[in-house]
Amino acid sequence: MRHAHRLSILLIALALAATACTSDSGDNDTDSGTAATATTAATATATTAATATTAATATTDGPATRFAGQTLLVWNKVAAAPAIDEVYAQLTTEFEDKWDVTVTTESKSFDDLKATVLLALGQSDGPDVAIVPQGRPDMGKAVEAGLLLDLTSFSEERGWPEAFGASTLTKTMFSADGVDFGTGNLYGLSPEVEFLGWFYNKDIFSDVGVQPPTTIEELDALLATLADAGEIPMNAGNVEGFPFLHTFMSTANADMSVSYVNDLIYGRNNVSFDTEATQTAAARLMNWADEGYFTPAFEGIAYGDSIGQFASGNGAIMQTGTWIIPDLDPETFGFFLTPAISGGIGPQPGATSEPFTVRVDTDVPDLAKEYIDWMMSERAAELLAGVGALTTRTVTAAGQSALAAEAQNAWGLITSSDQLGHYLDWASPTMFDTMVAESQRMIAGEITPDEFVKALDADYQAYLSGQ
C-alpha cells in the first residue's frame, strides 16, 4: 500500500511534467515542483525563440507559395448556424488554394473548447491556430502560462487597430505575464461579434401602437403600456441564470461611462460594483418582475425554450444577445440598443466572438498568422455577413437580412461612438457563478437589489485583494 502510494506520487510528477510539455520527464525526483518549474522556464525560452523566428521571417517577403506544402491544424468552434460553418469551410479552401497548403479544421463546441483548449495548446501536437474563450480565466491563463503567440506587431502591420477600433482589440489584450487585462499585447481576434440588445415583435408593437424607446424611462413606460394591452412585455426564460443577468448588465452598462466599465473589468483604479448604475439597474429589473412584465414562471423556463416562444410570437420584447438572430423571422422582428437615461446610447455589453489565437510553439507561426488575417479580411466579412453573421469589420453584404442589417448598423454605431461596454461577469473568475446565484436569490425575494449589488461587490473586492 505504501509502495503504491509512493508510486502514485511519481506518476503524478510525471503526469504534471508531461502536461506542461517538458521534453525531460526522465527525472526520477518525486518533487514535481522542480520538474514543472524547469518546464516553465523552457516554455519561456521557446517564446523568445518563436518571437525571434517571427522577426526573421517577417522580413523575407517571399512569393505566394512560400508556405507551399505546409500544414495547419485549426480548432474552430461550432457556429451558431450551419451556414456559418460552411462559410468557414469555404474560406479555408480558398486559403489553401491561395497558399498551396493543407488546413485541417476541427470544430468544437464552446464547452469543449473551454475544457480542453488550454491543455491542447501546451502539447507539441496541439492546434496551430485555436479559438480560446475570452477573459481572464481562459485567455488570461493561457497568456500567463506562455501558450499564446504575441500578435501585436503583426496586427499593426496589417492595420487591425484602424480597421476594427481600439476598444474592440482591448478585449483580447493582456500584459505578457497575463496579469493585466485590456492592455499590453494582442493575442487574438475574431471576425465575428456578438453583443446584447433588445429584439421586438413588430406585429405586436404596431397592434399596440408603440415605438422602440429612446430613453430608459420610455422603456419603463413602454413595458407598462404593453402589459396594459394584455401582452407579455418581456419574453424571458431564466433556468440557467444568465439571461436575466444579460438584462441586468445591459441596463447597468448604459448608465456607466466606458472608462468606468473598463476599470471595472480590467481591475484598475479601485472601482466598485456598488454604484448608482448597478443599484438602479437591479432595482429597475426587480420592479419589472414585481409588475409581472416577464413571462409567467420565467424562472422555470429554459433559455432555449424562451427563444422558441419568442420566435413563435409570444412576448413583445426579448432582451438577449445577437446570436439569436438566426432563430428569428427577419421581417417580423426588429432590434434596438439599450437606451441611456438621457437618450442616445451608453456602453453596450458585447465583444468579438471567441478569438482565433496562435500556439506559441507552432512550427508554422507565419502561416498561422496569415490564416487569422485571412479570416479578418473583407472577403471573409462579406461571406459571413451574407449568411447572417455579424462581423467585426462592418460591411454591406448581398444576402444580409433586414434584422441582421439592423443589428450590424447598431454595431457600427457602437464602435463609431466608442460605446463598447462589457459583460460584467468578466470582472472576476467567480463573478459569473456569484451573479447567477445572487440574482436568482434576488428574484426569489430572498435578498434586496441593494444586497444583490453588495454581494457582487464582495466577490469583486475579494478578487482584487487576492490579486
Binding site for other proteins (CB under 8 A): 1, 4-5, 7-9, 11-12, 14-20, 32-33, 36-37, 39-40, 106-109, 111-112, 114-116, 118-119, 122-123, 137, 141, 144-145, 147, 238-241, 296-305, 307-309, 429-430, 433, 436-441, 443-444, 446
Minimum CB distance to other proteins, residue 71 (Å): 19
CB of 3 to other proteins, least distance (A): 11
Q: How far is the CB of 131 from other proteins (least distance, A)?
A: 13
What does the alpha-carbon distance between residue 169 and residue 121 come to, in Å, rounded to a whole number?
22
**304 vs 412 by CB, closer to other proteins:** 304
Strand partners, 108: 77
User: Is the Cβ of residue 25 or residue 53 nearer to other proteins in the bound state?
Assistant: 25
What is the secondary structure of 255-299 as a DSSP string? TS-HHHHHHHHHT-TT--S-SHHHHHHHHHHHHHHHHT-BPTTGG
Element (H, E) at 163: helix 160-164
Give min distance, CB of 394 to other proteins, in A: 29
C-beta atoms surrounding 329 within 10 Å? 13
We find the least distance from the C-beta atom of residue 459 to other proteins, in angstroms, to be 11
Minimum CB distance to other proteins smaller for 12 or for 341: 12
Residues 6+ apart with CB under 8 A from 146: 40, 43, 44, 46, 47, 360
* 140: alpha, beta or left? (left if phi > 0; alpha if psi -120 to 50): alpha
- Contact of 258 with 165, CB cutoff 8 Å: no
Considering beta carbons, is residue 398 or 444 the nearer one to other proteins?
A: 444
Question: What is the C-alpha separation between 105 and 93, in angstroms, rounded?
Answer: 11
CA atoms within 13 A on the CB side of 36: 14
**CA distance linking residue 421 with residue 167, whole number of Å:** 9
Whichever of 119 and 341 has its CB closer to other proteins, that residue is 119
Please give the helix or strand (H or E) that residue 439 lies within, else none.
Answer: helix 431-443
Smallest gap from residue 289 Cβ to other proteins (A): 12
Beta carbon of residue 142, minimum distance to other proteins (angstroms, whole number) = 8
State the cell numbers at 158: 496589417
Nearer residue to other proteins within complex by CB, 114 or 202: 114
Angle subtended by helix axes 2-19 and 32-59, to nearest 10: 10
Tell me if residue 150 falls in helix, strand or coil: coil
Residue closer to other proteins, measured from CB, 294 or 335? 294
| Residue 127 beta carbon to other proteins: minimum distance, rounded to whole angstroms | 12
Q: Between residues 188 and 421, which has the closer beta carbon with respect to other proteins?
A: 188
Q: Write down the least CB distance from residue 302 to other proteins, Å.
A: 5
Q: What is the nearest approach in angstroms of other proteins to the Cβ of residue 41?
A: 10
Burial 253-292 (b: 16+ CB within 10 A, else e): bbbbebebbbbbbbbeeebbbbbebbbbbbebbbebbeee
Q: How far is the CB of 305 from other proteins (least distance, A)?
A: 5
Please, which residues have CB within 8 angstroms of residue 230's CB and are 6 or more apart in sequence? none
Q: What is the dihedral of CA 349, 350, 354, 359, to 10 degrees?
A: -80
Based on CB atoms, which residue is closest to other proteins, 69 or 296? Answer: 296
Indicate the residue among 180 and 299 with the shorter CB distance to other proteins.
299
Q: What is the C-alpha separation between 71 and 214, in angstroms, rounded?
A: 52
Cβ distance to other proteins smaller for residue 236 or 404? 236
